[in-house]
Structure formats: structure tokens, C-alpha cells
Amino acid sequence: MDNRERILLAAARVYAVHGFRGATTRLIANEAGVNEVTLFRTFGSKAALFEAMMHAHVAATPLPELPDAPADPQAELTSWCAVMMAHMREARSIIRTSIGEMGERPDAALSVCEGPSCAAVQLTAYVGRLRAAGLADETADVPTAVSMFMSSMFGDAVCRDIMPHAFPQPAEEAPARYVDTFLRAVGVSRAAVGHRIKASPQARRAAAK
Amino acid sequence: MDNRERILLAAARVYAVHGFRGATTRLIANEAGVNEVTLFRTFGSKAALFEAMMHAHVAATPLPELPDAPADPQAELTSWCAVMMAHMREARSIIRTSIGEMGERPDAALSVCEGPSCAAVQLTAYVGRLRAAGLADETADVPTAVSMFMSSMFGDAVCRDIMPHAFPQPAEEAPARYVDTFLRAVGVSRAAVGHRIKASPQARRAAAK
DNA sequence: CGTGCAAGCAAGTAACCACTTGCACTCACG
DNA sequence: CGTGAGTGCAAGTGGTTACTTGCTTGCACG
């Protein structure tokens, strides 16, 4: 691992705890085990360093995907949700700090919210496919359900460690429970899914993969 | 309005934008229209000023209450939810900043989360009363539903202004829609409520108030 | 061997910060 | 009128911060 990478990782760690103002170049250099001057020679300025850090961070976390042809919504959504939450939980300190600095540095917060935004679009499209396949209730308030589901995932991943009493179920059970409640809200019952999967050639094809 | 109050309000405004480190005593004094020295003579130190500011802030926002005897869950929860969200939305900048400084100043974040925590307890108790009155499904996963509902309210109130696309419904419709989805999740249908209210003397008493 | 590049080290600079001190002013209250 | 509390103003203190400069060291490569 070269110095550049070491500094980027150290900057992320220090930023997560102390914020932009509190993350002094001295602290970062110590954490990275390099001389403070090296930091300036490599990145030019503190601001440039943090820009590079944010960019590297979002580039390193790819979104999970939802299948084009839904076969088992409960299982597919649960694993998708678990991966999303794991990503967000891992970055929770950086997310919190970035959101907290929204007033001073909007760019950081916006780049952090990019991932969840794309995920919401993905999820909405997936529910659209469920509907097209006749698996979801046509009258459900899908936008509201999606937004509540995303809020729950985000809130759990980012806040569980600081206010654990707000999340009664154990962390490993949470994705399945959120998905369960979400599916009920958009009118996808287990019975209906089992019934339709047998009836729908599209779903049968997907399940056969 | 005396100087002390003026400084407290100015401190809240500056803190909401710049955070603890960024909220310099000079900035606060300018914002309050007083001399910087007055700030130190009144509060002693910057830390003491912010402690007083946080204390004054939580003392100034009382929680809304849910009725002891549920009569119209949909209406009661919607107005409760609207008041809660209005409170949180008004303090959203301070909430964001405090949460962002969790790593450095845990006290601030915890005092900010105090209100929503009490609200969750209130809500859970209310659903318990719905169950006791035979108005809610005994098999529903109430803790998960409550936690998702709280996350949705919190997320909407705190994040809607910075990522509006994540909240598709207009702000004024959101409480009713969240409550609707929540009630479905805990098995309270409008039909069942109407039916049981006529049958339950407890509910009739409450409705007569 | 010599050349050049990357890195460390020591020191310094200009700005900013929380906080202090000393003095002058004002104004209600006796 | 006098006194004391509350405030403003100017200046300063010690510490921290981002960033710079000048010099030295180690090491790969021709």
C-alpha cells in the first residue's frame, strides 16, 4: 500500500470522528504514519485531499442489483436490503459526519446520499416489474411504501449504534422484517406470490435460473 | 428580549450551520448583535454557552400526547405525527449538526434523540391500548412497524429539504400517508375500527369526550 | 559512480481561535 | 448627586491551524 492510499484511509477514519474542521492535517498524517509535509506534497491542500477521499469512497462501494425478472420477492429483497444496509452501516460514521456538515459543505452530504437515491429508483422499478407480472396490488401507495422502506434501512444502518433502543429487533433479523412489512404494504402476500409463480411463465423462467 | 436570550438564539442559528467548531464566539456575538466579551461574561465559556443552548432548546419543545382511550386511531395518529414532524423539521439543522458531531460530542446527539425516543415509547403504548381494546391485530410485528414509522417521520423531517426526491408525496400529505401504512402494518383497518368503536364501551366513552 | 525522485525533519509564517484585562460609558436606583 | 451593575471597545495572550521553505536522507536506475 503506497502513501497516497494510506493517507486517504487515514483521512476517512479521522474525518468520520472529528469532521472536516476537526480533522487536522497533523492528525491525519499521524494516523497514516507519514510526515505532514508528504500530505501536502501528495494532495496540495486539505480540501483537495478530502475531495479525493470522498471520490474514492463512493467509487469503492457498488450497489447491489435486483433481478430483472422477479421470482422470489421476499428472498431477493431481503438479500438486497441486507447488502445495502451493510454498506451503509460500514460507512455510517462518514454518513453522519457528512450530513452534519450539510450547512457548510453540501457537496459531501450530496455525494453520500447518491447511493441510497439510486437504490430507491432501483426498488421502485422492481416493484413496477412485480406489478407488471401481476404480483403486487395495483392500488397500493408504492411511492410512500418505498420511501418508508428506504428511511427504515437508512435510519437503522446509520443510527442503530447510537440509539439502539429505537431498533427493537436484532440487527441480523432487521432486513427480513423490513422487507416483510414493505411487501405487505405494497400488497404482495406470500400466498399470492406462490400462486402467481406457478401461473406466470415469466416468473417460472426466472425461478429456473 | 435580553442579551442572554439573544445570544442563545444566535448560538442556535450559527451552530445549525457551522457546527460546534465552526461556530466561533465572534460569529455568534455578531449574529446576536452584542460584544464578544458580553458572551463570555454571561456564560463563562463557549462550552457552557452551548450546554445552555441545548438545554433551552429541549425544554422549549414539549411532546404532543396520544389519548389514553383511543377513539379514532387514524385521526389521532395523523395529528400526533404532524406535530412531531413539525417539531423535528423546525430543528432539523440542529439535529443534523448534532448527529454529525456524535463522534466528538455524544451528549449533544443524545439530547437531540431524546424526544423521538420518548415518542416511540408513547406510540408503542398507544398501540398496546389499541390491542387491549380489540382494535389491532394480535399477530402483527408491532415493534418493527413502530420503528419503521419513527424512522420514516424522522427521515422525512430531517432529510426532505436536502434530498427531496426521496420523499415523493408532498410534505403536507406525508403524515396521513405514513399513518395509513403504519396502521395497515399493525392490522388496524378502517372497517374494523368503525365496527369495534360501536361495540366497545371504552371506545364509546372516549369518543363521547 | 552519479543523477533524480520521493520522503523525512526542523523551523517558520500568517491567520485564527477562545479567552482575558483595563478602561470608559450609561443608566436605573438610593 | 453618587454608586454599582451591565455593557462596549481596544488590545493583548497563548495556543492551534494550514501551508511553506530549506535541507538531508534513502533508494532505484543508467
Per-residue pLDDT of chain B (209 residues; tens, 9 = 90+): 799 999 999 999 999 999 999 999 999 999 999 999 999 999 999 999 999 999 999 889 999 999 999 999 999 999 999 999 999 999 999 999 999 999 999 999 999 999 999 999 999 999 999 999 989 988 888 999 999 999 999 999 999 999 999 999 999 999 999 999 999 888 886 555 544 444 444 444 444 43
pLDDT value of residue A100: 97
DSSP, collapsed to helix, strand or coil, labels residue A188 as coil
DSSP, collapsed to helix, strand or coil, labels residue B186 as coil
- What's the pTM? 0.89
pLDDT value of residue A6: 97
pLDDT value of residue A167: 96
Q: How many CB atoms lie under 10 A from the CB of residue A11? A: 27
pLDDT value of residue B157: 98
Q: Are A119 and A84 in contact (CB under 8 A)?
A: yes
Q: CB contact, 8 Å: B56 with chain A?
A: no
pLDDT value of residue B201: 45
State the helix-helix crossing angle for B36-43 and B3-22, rounded to 10 degrees. Answer: 100
**Cell numbers linked to B183:** 396502521
Q: Is residue A80 scored above 90 in pLDDT?
A: yes
Confidence band, pLDDT 50/70/90 cuts, at residue A192:
low
Q: How many CB atoms lie under 10 A from the CB of residue B121? A: 12
- Residues A96 and A152: their CA atoms lie apart, in Å, by 15
Over residues A82-108, the mean pLDDT reads 96
pLDDT value of residue A186: 86
Note the CA–C1' distance, A36 to C11, in angstroms. 14
Q: CB contact, 8 Å: A104 with chain B?
A: yes
Q: How many CB pairs under 8 A join A and B?
A: 160
- Residues B167 and A117: their CA atoms lie apart, in Å, by 10
For residue B31, the surrounding DSSP H or E stretch is helix B25-32
Over residues A23-32, the mean pLDDT reads 98
Q: Is residue A190 scored above 80 in pLDDT?
A: no
Model pLDDT for residues A46-58, shown as the tens digit of each residue: 999 999 999 999 8
pLDDT, greater one: A197 or B101: B101
pLDDT value of residue A206: 42
- Residues B27 and B129: their CA atoms lie apart, in Å, by 50
Q: Are A194 and A74 in contact (CB under 8 A)?
A: no
pLDDT value of residue A72: 94
- Residues A164 and A150: their CA atoms lie apart, in Å, by 18
Write the CA distances from B23 to A94, B96, B112, integer angstroms: 21, 15, 18
Query: What whole-number percentage of chain A has pLDDT above 70?
Result: 90
pLDDT value of residue B4: 96
Note the CA–C1' distance, A31 to C2, in angstroms. 37
pLDDT value of residue B184: 86
pLDDT value of residue A187: 84
Q: List the single residue in A22, A162, A181 with the smallest CB-CB distance to B145.
A: A181
Q: Is residue A195 scored above 50 in pLDDT?
A: no
Across the interface, whether the CB atoms of A113 and B141 are under 8 A apart is answered no
Over residues A96-113, the mean pLDDT reads 94
Note the CA–C1' distance, A26 to D12, in angstroms. 28
**Cell numbers linked to B24:** 466561533
Q: CB contact, 8 Å: A58 with chain B?
A: no
Q: CB contact, 8 Å: A118 with chain B?
A: no
- Residues B102 and A38: their CA atoms lie apart, in Å, by 30
Q: How far is A81 from chain B (nearest CA, A)?
A: 14
Q: List the single residue in B16, B103, B178 with the smallest CB-CB distance to A16.
A: B103
Q: Are B148 and A148 in contact (CB under 8 A)?
A: yes
Q: Where are the alpha helices (DSSP H) in chain A?
A: 3-22, 25-32, 36-43, 46-59, 73-90, 92-100, 106-132, 142-159, 174-185, 190-199, 201-208
